[in-house]
Structure 1
Amino acid sequence: MEETHMHAASAWTSNDGPISVSCRVHLHIWPTAIVGSQKKENLTPIGSKIAELSESRSELLTRIQGLKQDLQSWRSKLDTQVKIYRDVGDSFFAVIELSELKKSLNVEVEQLRSEFQELRTTLQQQQDDVSTSLRNLGLQDQDVSEDANGTQNPKVEGNTEEDQAPPIENGKEIQQ
């Protein structure tokens, strides 16, 4: 575009295109060749821009699809891990529960052992007391050991008067 100042106000055309003169005598020259080429230049970049944008859009859609698939895969893996950790957690708590049950059972077994030991001691004491009482009554240890082996002691278990030993009090036989 050319700009020229003139002393007169008029309008004419030149070989380069239309010339317009303003009231102030200011000229603007717009060559037609430049105007036509600008329109073509403006149209060409728009077409290439549209092609670029379409290609970019396709690439973005492809990436979005890939990201969606990755996200679904990630969610699936996460769900699997959560299930595994829950199962492990359940197993862990089951192991803890079994461990606590084992400890509880061990305590109960120890209590039973202690009680059986007390019973054994009490039974032994009672057996000793019975043996002492039988000795005081004049029976021998041999008769007691035969009773322990399952043989009958005719003096103790007989039903007739002859088979029974006479009652003894303070180590002396009592007459009936």
Structure 2
Amino acid sequence: MADADLDPAPSPPAVVPLPSPPKVQFQPLGDRITELNESQSELLLKLQGLKQDLQNWRSKLDTQVKLYKDELSDLKKALNTELGQLRSEFTELRTTLQMQQDDVTLGLKNLVIQDAPEQTEEQKNLEVEDGLEKPEARSSGNSQLD
């Protein structure tokens, strides 16, 4: 730190010379204004062309959207019509099937009623036969035990 105290006062920073600005050649003011007006006119023409293109594009897009909406509307109507027809046909089919099921059920009930007396007689015959077989089975069973 003692060394720092012995140093003389700092010198001011060195002045660096600034580069000289490039020399600009100025066109006559009238020529420059004319050039700017021409550029402005070209830009306005381009802008008008772009606006016209945008309007045409929007018009075409609106036309397409309208056509698609109309087509979708027609498809929706056709679909609803077909759906109504299918529902009607399904209801008719359900009714027909229910009637057929009722007819089959009734027919089966009639068959059961007609077959019931015959089965009863057959069952009686089987029971009589079973009754006869049972004592034989018992006697043969008894003989084996003896």
Q: Same fold (TM over 0.5)?
A: yes
Partner of 2:52: 40
Choose which of 93, 104, 109 in structure 2 pairs with 1:97. Answer: 109
Deviation readout 1:108-166 (Å, 9 max, x if unpaired): 6x48xx9xxxxxxxxxxxxxxxxxxxxxxxxxxxxxxxxxxxxxxxxxxxxxxxxxxxx
Deviation readout 1:82-118 (Å, 9 max, x if unpaired): 011101110111111111111114346x48xx9xxxx
Q: Indicate the RMSD between aligned Cα atoms, in angstroms.
A: 2.4
| Runs of 4+ deviating beyond 6 Å | none
Partner of 1:122: none
Structure-1 separation of matches of 2:72 and 2:114: 61
Structure-2 separation of matches of 1:44 and 1:16: 26
Query: Would you tell me which structure has more helix in proportion to its own residues?
Result: 2
Which runs of no fewer than 5 residues in structure 2 stay unpaired?
1-23, 26-31, 126-146
- The amino acid of 2:93's aligned partner reads Q
Deviation readout 1:18-55 (Å, 9 max, x if unpaired): 7xxxxxxxxxxx71111001011101111111111111
- The amino acid of 2:43's aligned partner reads P
How much has 1:56 moved relative to structure 2?
1.0
Structure-2 separation of matches of 1:87 and 1:46: 61
- The amino acid of 2:112's aligned partner reads E
Q: Does 2:64 align with 1:55?
A: no
Partner of 1:17: 40
Q: Does 2:90 align with 1:67?
A: no
Instruction: Count the aligned residue pairs.
Output: 92
Choose which of 96, 118, 121 in structure 2 pairs with 1:84. Answer: 96
Structure-1 separation of matches of 2:56 and 2:67: 17
Structure-1 separation of matches of 2:81 and 2:117: 53
Structure-2 separation of matches of 1:105 and 1:98: 12
Partner of 2:131: none
Which runs of no fewer than 5 residues in structure 1 stay unpaired?
1-6, 19-29, 115-176
Query: Would you tell me which structure has more strand in proportion to its own residues?
Result: 1
